[in-house]
Amino acid sequence: MQASHQHTQSTPLPRVRLGPRPLPLYLGLAGTTFLGSLAASHALKSEWPSWNSSSPDAPPLPPQLQRLSADLDALLAGAPLPDLADAVAHEACRRFGDFLEGVQRYRHHPYRRRLHDPPAIWQRGGVCLRDYTLARFRTDPAAIPLVAVPSLINRGYILDLNGRRSLMRHLARHGLHPLLLDWGDPGPEEQPLDLSGYITDRLIPALEAACERAGRPVVVLGYCMGGLLSLAACLRRPDLVAGFVALATPWDFSAHDGPGMAVFREAIPWILSSVDTMGALPVDILQVMFSGLEPGSITRKFQSFAHMAPDSPKTTLFVGMEDWVNDGVPLVRAVARECLGDWYCGNTTGRGCWQVGGLPVRPEELAIPSLFLIPERDRIVPPESARALAAKVSGATILHVSLGHIGMITGSGAGRQVYSPMTRWLKRNFASQ
């Protein structure tokens, strides 16, 4: 077991941020929408036949557009087209200006995450295990040991975002012994790894180190993709684990539906070809993939941010979360191929075909107390996908929360809906061990 006991701090971000990544794409999308609205306003002013069905030269409208035209006529109640055109142009300018203002405010905001990362008690390659035991809270030596496993795609500090929104520190304050698996950046030793390699050569050895330190099996908590990796580790080494907690963990990828996902699946062969060329799946492509699930979300959230009070807690939280979103981690080639080709396209998990180290991953064989927290407003992991996993585990406790994928960790309702009930469940099931 290798160990490092140095206190480290997250790498300071540059004074002017690079995000939202990839910035040129988002500027282009917002600009195209803006210019399209201006073009529409000019068409309205000129009473172009396509916009004026009363013109004798206007082509007949399809039935759906006829209904839409009638709805617009009722809404406008005879408003002159030039007035409507000016209103469209004004609104387009306002929204585009808000977007640009929001981006500028974010890029120059003074907030920086200043929490010190706890010491690493174990390390292999670029992966380490950080101990969140807080001495000032006098954690009981018999405290419940828990290893939190985040996604490979994003930094683990989403579970320790700031002093007010930190699941790891909440658990430590309430008498548990939490450790965080920090995947770090994939270095030379991680480049050849596939998902099986990450599980058997990184995650399981980390669990062994945690068990040795605690003197007993640990509870494993997995968030998103980390839940799938944790599940596989629990099934391969049941001697190391006492319980399993899954936060927004996908299983049935056929539930990932909608126009954005359809486009994403069509693009996967091209993405994988690029991965083979570059040797990894870059962060910017990952960002495009996730934002493509809801194309207008980036523009809308920065338009809203432009109107937030600069020094409010809501503003600080927005900036902190955006810093985390834009501080992603590239996926090595084999992992990218498995995640995109096998999970998203092949649904190997939902079809019961996913294997780790040649052995199938069968959730129905999980024989330890398990808790599944499923956010009902999740746009990244549809609730149906997460429910499919929970339904396979006999005797599992399932908790539905009215939050989103990230909001369940950092949102204003996270403490009441996620942190507290999870802590109660952990103490009820493991405090006496």
Pairing of strands 280-281, 120-124: unpaired
* Tokens of residue 341, six digits: 């080709």
How far apart (Å, rounded) are the C-alpha atoms in residues 391 and 406? Answer: 23
**Do 216 and 157 belong to one domain?**
yes
What's this model's pTM, rounded to 2 decimal places? 0.85
Residue with tokens 């539905």: 400
Q: Does any domain span residue 282? A: no
**Do 124 and 204 belong to one domain?**
yes
Contacts of 168 (CB under 8 A, 6+ apart): 132, 148, 159, 160, 178, 180
How far apart (Å, rounded) are the C-alpha atoms in residues 32 and 45? Answer: 20
**Do 247 and 359 belong to one domain?**
yes
DSSP state of 254: G
How far apart (Å, rounded) are the C-alpha atoms in residues 161 and 172? Answer: 15
DSSP string, 140-202: -TTPPEEEEE--SSS-GGGGG-SSSS-HHHHHHHTT-EEEEEE--S--TTTTT--HHHHIIII
pLDDT tens-place values along the chain, 433 residues long? 444 434 344 445 456 787 899 888 888 888 887 777 677 666 655 554 444 445 555 556 556 555 655 655 555 555 555 566 677 778 888 999 999 999 999 999 999 999 989 989 999 999 999 999 865 444 566 799 999 999 999 999 999 999 889 999 999 999 999 999 999 999 999 999 999 999 999 999 999 999 999 999 999 999 999 999 999 999 999 999 999 999 999 999 999 777 667 777 888 888 999 899 999 999 998 888 877 767 788 899 999 999 999 989 999 999 999 999 999 999 999 999 999 999 999 999 999 999 999 999 999 999 999 999 999 999 899 999 999 999 999 999 999 999 999 999 999 999 999 999 999 999 999 986 6
**Do 316 and 338 belong to one domain?**
no
**Do 208 and 349 belong to one domain?**
yes
* Helix (H) / strand (E) containing 24: helix 23-45
Which has the closest alpha carbon to 371: 215, 44, 137, 144? 144
**Do 62 and 181 belong to one domain?**
no
In this structure, the dihedral spanned by the alpha carbons of residues 69, 72, 76 and 81, taken in order and rounded to 10 degrees, is -50
* Tokens of residue 317, six digits: 């939280």
How far apart (Å, rounded) are the C-alpha atoms in residues 35 and 92? Answer: 8
**Do 144 and 223 belong to one domain?**
yes
**Do 148 and 179 belong to one domain?**
yes
Write the pLDDT tens digit of every residue in 314-368.
999 999 999 999 999 999 999 999 999 999 999 999 999 999 999 999 999 999 9
Count of domains in the chain?
Answer: 2
Which has the closest alpha carbon to 219: 4, 374, 425, 383? 425
**Do 230 and 177 belong to one domain?**
yes
**Do 308 and 339 belong to one domain?**
no
How far apart (Å, rounded) are the C-alpha atoms in residues 429 and 49? Answer: 70
Query: Domain span at residue 136?
Result: 119-255+330-430
Q: Calculate ∠ Cα 10-221-363, nearest 5°.
A: 140
**Do 94 and 197 belong to one domain?**
no
Query: What pLDDT, on the 0 to 100 scale, is given for residue 191?
Result: 96
